[in-house]
Chain A
Amino acid sequence: DVKVTQSSRYLVKRTGEKVFLECVQDMDHENMFWYRQDPGLGLRLIYFSYDVKMKEKGDIPEGYSVSREKKERFSLILESASTNQTSMYLCASIPSPRGGTEAFFGQGTRLTVV
């Protein structure tokens, strides 16, 4: 089975802290994604990566950056956490950029910024 693992299920950070959310997949997928999930807003794409060291902005990249140094790992970085970044963060990976291949998701990280 494909596994997408996020480093934390729950995280509490202080305003202004630099926060790292880690995601690892074990199936050699080229494409990885970070989504933010908020009640009533669904899932919104923050950033995605289609190869090592490659990244593209999604719909809501402001306040975030990403890093992909190895194929299996995709990190989301909050340079200076703010309370409006309190949310659920979901990582996903897809094995190919075309076709109806499903996305595989991690279990989510619920981040609270205080």
Chain B
Amino acid sequence: AQTVTQSQPEMSVQEAETVTLSCTYDTSESDYYLFWYKQPPSRQMILVIRQEAYKQQNATENRFSVNFQKAAKSFSLKISDSQLGDAAMYFCAYRNPSGAGSYQLTFGKGTKLSVIP
């Protein structure tokens, strides 16, 4: 079974600075998908960014980018120019592309990010 590990339960960053959230995963698959979800105090889970394992290029969405290291099974999220609205729980998630278990996301335990004005 796949596992996802987020080793930083809490992190903080100064407004306008850059922060990196860590995520590692364990899988025997060669093709899969990785996601970062954000959960603000409103509790609504929002997709931040996704990465397909067969793509070597790291995904980028505006101020959010990932550092995907397939061999190391590492998938970190970098937030640049942090804003107060970035304060939230961030979850890393894994998904198989097909076959058994392809329907479900496996989540890490989350990292609570605080942004200091």
Q: List residues of A whose CB falls within 8 A of some B CB.
A: 31, 33, 35, 40-45, 48, 50, 56, 58, 88, 90, 92, 94, 97-100, 102-103, 105, 107-108
Option from A90, A99, A100 in Cβ contact (under 8 Å) with B45 = A90
The answer to whether A42 touches B43 (Cβ under 8 A) is no
Known contacts A88-B43, A99-B97, A100-B52; A50/B109 CB under 8 A: no
Interface positions, chain B 82-114, Cβ under 8 Å from A, are 91, 95, 97-98, 102-110
Which chain A residues border B97 with CB–CB below 8 Å? 98-100
A-B contact count (CB 8 A): 58
Per the bound structure, the CA–CA distance linking A77 and B50 in Å amounts to 32
* Residues of B in contact, count (CB < 8 Å): 24
The 5 closest A-B pairs by CB, nearest first: A105-B45, A42-B109, A43-B107, A100-B33, A108-B43
Which chain B residues border A107 with CB–CB below 8 Å? 42-44
Which chain A residues border B91 with CB–CB below 8 Å? 42-43
